[in-house]
Amino acid sequence: MFVESRDQSRQFFFDLWRKLTTDEPLSPLEHLVANVLRAHPEYHRLLGEGERAMTRDFAPGEINPFLHLGLHVALVEQLQTDRPSGIQAVHRSLVMQAGGDVHAAEHRMLDCLAQVLWQASQRGGAPDEQDYLARLKALLK
């Protein structure tokens, strides 16, 4: 999922939520993201707010639902392409560690993804895939 701005990202989620609640047909990408939305019922009310939630800011330490959902989508895309190479194997192992709870395993992985993305933003460069994969593998210990 590629978006150029915070508002564009949020609008995508709002539009998709509307489609889900009105049983409109979805594109393949929308099906992928819809699965992420379905797994997060705690955000359904916010998604239904649409324009009222568009400009909402989240305080430091407060979970930003849009960022959280976006990280899930990014992880799903990484798993589909096995990029970085080896992420699928780490995911399988973490799911096994979590007793088959895919969502719990993915939340652990999201912490690593968020850290690597934050570091990249501080450097002004691309995320370091090898550092990311090393962080993920460290979860297996």
Give me the pLDDT at residue 100, please.
97
What are the pLDDT digits (tens) for 122-133?
A: 999 999 999 999
Q: Specify the amino acid at residue 117.
A: L
Establish if 44 belongs to a structural domain.
yes
What are the pLDDT digits (tens) for 50-81?
A: 878 998 999 988 999 999 999 999 999 999 99
Contact 91, 118 (CB under 8 A): no
Establish if 69 belongs to a structural domain.
no
Whether 89 and 50 map to the same domain: the answer is: no
Cα 80 to Cα 31: distance, rounded to the nearest angstrom = 14
pTM above 0.85, yes or no: yes
On the question of pLDDT at 2 being above 80, the answer is no
Nearest-CA neighbor of 36 among 82, 71, 72?
72
What are the pLDDT digits (tens) for 88-127?
A: 999 999 999 999 999 999 999 999 999 999 999 999 999 9
Contact 120, 114 (CB under 8 A): no
Establish if 32 belongs to a structural domain.
yes
Give me the pLDDT at residue 3, please.
64
- Average pLDDT of the chain is 94
Whether 136 and 87 map to the same domain: the answer is: yes
Establish if 64 belongs to a structural domain.
no
Establish if 109 belongs to a structural domain.
yes
Establish if 117 belongs to a structural domain.
yes
Establish if 67 belongs to a structural domain.
no
Number of domains the chain contains: 2
Residue where one domain finishes, among candidates 59, 91, 108 = 59
Q: Domain limits at 26? A: 1-59
Q: How confident is the model at residue 4 (pLDDT cuts 50, 70, 90)?
A: confident
Establish if 66 belongs to a structural domain.
no
